[in-house]
Amino acid sequence: MADVKLENIVKQYEDVTAVDDMNLDIKHGEFVTFVGPSGCGKSTTMETIAGLTKPTSGTVMIGERDVTDLPPKDRGISMVFQNIALFPHMDVYDNISFGLRLRKYDKSEIDRRVEKAAEVVQLNGMMERMPDEMSGGQRQRVAIARAIVRNPDVFLMDEPLANLDAKLRVHMRTELQRLHKELDTTIIYVTHDQAEAMTMSDRIAVINAGQLQQIDPPLVCYNEPANLFVAGFIGSPSMNFVEGEVAGSGFTSDDVKVSFNPSDYNLGRGKDVTLGVRPEDVYLANNSREAADPTVPLTATTDVLEPMGNEIFAYLTFDEDATSSMTDAQLPGQLLISVDPDTEIEEDQEIEVVLDRSKIHLFDTAGGKALTHEITDTGATSTAGADAEVGTDD
């Protein structure tokens, strides 16, 4: 059993705090992905687990052992990195078996392990190939096989697919999931690509500025993001955000008003809140039946359309007065929606949309913390839209 535990890990580089009081409890057999923007501390956190970086303070546990001061070779881990460093003058067999030969394993044991690893990554029959005779994906599989033969308790993978082309990356994702299933081992994986994190992981650890924002299964991060950062980072295209405040009748901003009873959510009048709604949770009003709990229609104008084949992304703007009064760089006054590819929709067309209230998130604008992931109407008239009649707005 090899659980991995980080307790209060801090890594300070002069004036940069790369990892800021990280606590993680990863169970044996889990596939956990560290995700976050470049420079947020993913690799540094991984390196403290690997033993390549000594934390300024805090403890790293692998299984029952405190490994904080142990060198990488004594931690029971194997690593695969973005840059596939194969020995160019060695064939596949020699590359995979290099570490075992160095440790003077028995020839028959080496053969057994290499054969098993080659089978897992589907490289059988390629043992005599040289690295320059292989594709990028095949070379990456050799690197993974070389990690497998060491029978590690924990695999650490830092952006292992980053140098592969898009199609191969998608293929290798499936292979890594299969590998995880076959090996019954713990995998800790680093990527800046949230799609990779969503598809492969049991749990995603979202990191920003050295701090853990949320660690949860992918769909929990998607449906119940803990804060504005996670909400904006997980999901592509990103969630729409509208800044506003709590009024007596619910949420109000220049463009969007949604009614609810603020006391149901312990929200005081005048509190600055940000409404979040994903593009797929906004519907054309004539399709509003598809929304579980639609708001009343909101009038907007289509701007740019992006046909994707399976859906169309439509950027909407609200009336000009509202838009021109906006100052924020995040373009409030704009809403991105996703509509069916068969929808007859044109640029510069006035349309009506509704939001699915059961998929509306509210965040505390000041601290970013999520307040709710659903708005239930307690009988008040729901109103939305700058031009809609607003009940008891104050």
Binding region for ligand ADP (CB under 6 A): 13, 16, 18, 36, 38-44
Beta strands in 198-308 (DSSP E): 203-208, 211-216, 240-247, 250-252, 257-259, 272-277, 282-284, 298-307
CB of 83 to ligand ADP, least distance (A): 14
**Toward ligand ADP, which CB reaches closer, 158 or 281?**
158
CB of 246 to ligand ADP, least distance (A): 35
CB of 158 to ligand ADP, least distance (A): 8
Residues forming a β-bridge with 196: none
**Toward ligand ADP, which CB reaches closer, 4 or 18?**
18
CB of 13 to ligand ADP, least distance (A): 3
The contacts of residue 378 (CB under 8 Å, 6+ apart) are 260, 261, 264
d(CA 99, CA 91): 14
**Toward ligand ADP, which CB reaches closer, 159 or 356?**
159
The contacts of residue 282 (CB under 8 Å, 6+ apart) are 240, 335, 337, 338, 353, 354, 355, 356
d(CA 200, CA 206): 14
CB of 45 to ligand ADP, least distance (A): 7
CB of 46 to ligand ADP, least distance (A): 8
Q: Are 307 and 275 in contact (CB under 8 A)?
A: no
**Toward ligand ADP, which CB reaches closer, 80 or 282?**
80
Surface-to-core class of residue 179, CB atoms within 10 Å of its CB (0-12 exposed, 13-18 middle, 19+ buried): buried
**Toward ligand ADP, which CB reaches closer, 34 or 283?**
34
**Toward ligand ADP, which CB reaches closer, 161 or 267?**
161
**Toward ligand ADP, which CB reaches closer, 48 or 382?**
48
The contacts of residue 339 (CB under 8 Å, 6+ apart) are 284, 311, 312, 314, 345
d(CA 186, CA 199): 17
CB of 143 to ligand ADP, least distance (A): 19
The one-letter amino acid code at 302 reads T
Cβ atoms within 10 Å, residue 271: 18
Rounded to 5°, angle at Cα 284 from 233 and 276: 25
**Toward ligand ADP, which CB reaches closer, 57 or 122?**
57
Q: Are 303 and 297 in contact (CB under 8 A)?
A: no
d(CA 359, CA 375): 7
**Toward ligand ADP, which CB reaches closer, 13 or 87?**
13
CB of 33 to ligand ADP, least distance (A): 12
CB of 142 to ligand ADP, least distance (A): 24
d(CA 231, CA 373): 11
